[in-house]
Amino acid sequence: MRIHRSMLRHSKACHQRNKRHMSPRRRHGFTLIEALLLIIVFLLAIVLLQITSTDCCGEGFTTMCSNNLRGIGQAMYIYAQDDPQSFPAIAGRRNDGLMRIFDPEDRVTMQDMFSVPSPTVDMWTVVRANNVMPDQFICPWTNDEPDPAMFMDDFYDFLGPENLSYAYQFQHDEDKRILSTSSAPTEVLMADSNPYIKGGVGGDFFADRLSADLGNSTNHRSRQRGQNILFQDGHVDLFGTPAAGLFGLVDPAIGEGFGRDNIYTVHDNLPDAQVDPGLAAPTASWCDLGSRSDACLVP
C-alpha cells in the first residue's frame, strides 16, 4: 500500500515535537545555593575593600601628621634665627617643676620671665610670628579642630586642648639646657601628644609602658601605631615606642629595649637611673626633669 508523502511528513514532525518535549527544560536564573554563594563573595569583597581603604587612609593620615611636625620644625628654626638661637621658651627656668597649659590669662596676656612656664604658650609663639598656621598643629587622626583665632598676633596661647594635637619639650627646667640650633640632633623637640596629659591615660605608668600599647601617644587610632617624633635637626620619624630620647645604658632591672630616654615621662629625680624607666609622668601643672638628658614632651 502506497503511503502518501504528506502523511510521512506529518509523522516526522510529530516525532520531533515529542522529542523536544521529552528533553530537559532549560533553567533560567540561579539556584538558592548559587545565590547564597554570590552574596558571600560580594560581602567578602566589600570587607576587603574597606580594610584596604582604611589602611590607605591610615597611611595618609600618618604622612600628613609627619608633614605637620616637619613644617612646625621649620617654623621653629626660623624663630631660632634670632639671638640666642634657641627654640621658644618664653618664661624663665625653674627648679620646682611648675607649669600650666591653656590658661585663659595666657591666652590674652603676654608672659614674662617670671610667669609660670607654659609649653602651649611656647608653641603658639611661632603661630603668632606667622611662621606656621594653627591647622598644622592638628593631627588628622584626632578629632581636634584648628584654633579659631582670626588674627594670630591678638593671642598668646592656644584656646584649649582640642586645638592642639602635639607635645613640646619642656624648656623651663634648670636641670636641662634650653634646646637650640646647636643642641644634639638626637634631642627630641616635639611629638604626638603626651598620653598621660592630653591622652588621659592614668594608673600604673610603668605597667602601661610594658603593655601592648607600650606607653605610646593616643593620637593615632591605635596606640600600637606609635607616634611621629620631630628631632632637633628637623627630621621626623615614626617610632613604635616612646623610648626615642637620648641614649643611655641599659639597666638589667628594667629590661632590654629601654636604652633610650622615654619622651613622655620624667626621671623623677632618681640620681642612679641609667635611663628614664617611665615610672613618673608629668601632669597638667607639673613637669620636673630629673637630669640633663631627660626629655619630657607636654601636654
pLDDT digits (tens, 9 = 90+) for 206-226: 788 889 999 999 999 899 999
Report if residue 152 sits inside a domain. Answer: yes
Mean pLDDT of 75-96: 91
Q: Mean of the per-residue pLDDT values for the chain?
A: 84
Give yes or no for residue 101 having a pLDDT over 50.
yes
- Residue carrying C-alpha cell 604622612: 63
Q: Is residue 91 part of a domain?
A: yes
Cis-peptide into 299, omega within 30 deg = yes
**Highest averaged pLDDT of the listed ranges 3-12, 181-190, 262-271:** 181-190
Does residue 67 carry a pLDDT above 80? yes
Rounded CA separation 5/17 (Å): 19
Average pLDDT over residues 103-123: 97
Give a yes or no: residue 4 inside a domain. no
Q: How many domains does the chain have?
A: 1
List, in order, residues 6 or more apart from 92 with CB less than 8 Å away: 113, 114, 117, 172
**Cα–Cα distance measured from residue 267 to residue 292, given in angstroms and rounded to the nearest whole number:** 10
Tell me the residue range of the domain where 131 lies.
53-298
User: Pick the residue with more confidence: 148 or 55?
Assistant: 148
38 Ramachandran zone, left/alpha/beta (phi>0; psi -120 to 50): alpha
Q: Which of 168, 164, 169, 167 is CA-nearest to residue 138?
A: 164
The answer to whether position 40 is within a domain reads no
252 contacts 274 by C-beta, under 8 angstroms: no
Contacts of 12 (CB under 8 A, 6+ apart): none
Parallel, antiparallel or unpaired: strands 236-239 and 243-247: unpaired
Give how far the C-alpha of residue 33 lies from the chain's centroid of Cα atoms, to the nearest Å.
Answer: 46
pLDDT for 270 beyond 90: no
In a domain, 46, yes or no: no
Residue 278 lies in a domain: yes
85 found inside a domain: yes
Check pLDDT > 90 for residue 111.
Answer: yes
Segments of the chain assigned E as strands: 166-169, 188-192, 227-231, 236-239, 243-247, 260-262, 297-298
Q: Given this model, what pLDDT does residue 8 score?
A: 47
The answer as to whether 10 is a domain residue is no
**What is the per-residue pLDDT for 122?**
98
pLDDT score at 120? 98
Distance CA 132, CA 67 (A): 12
Phi-psi region of 227 (alpha: psi -120 to 50; beta: other; left: phi over 0): beta
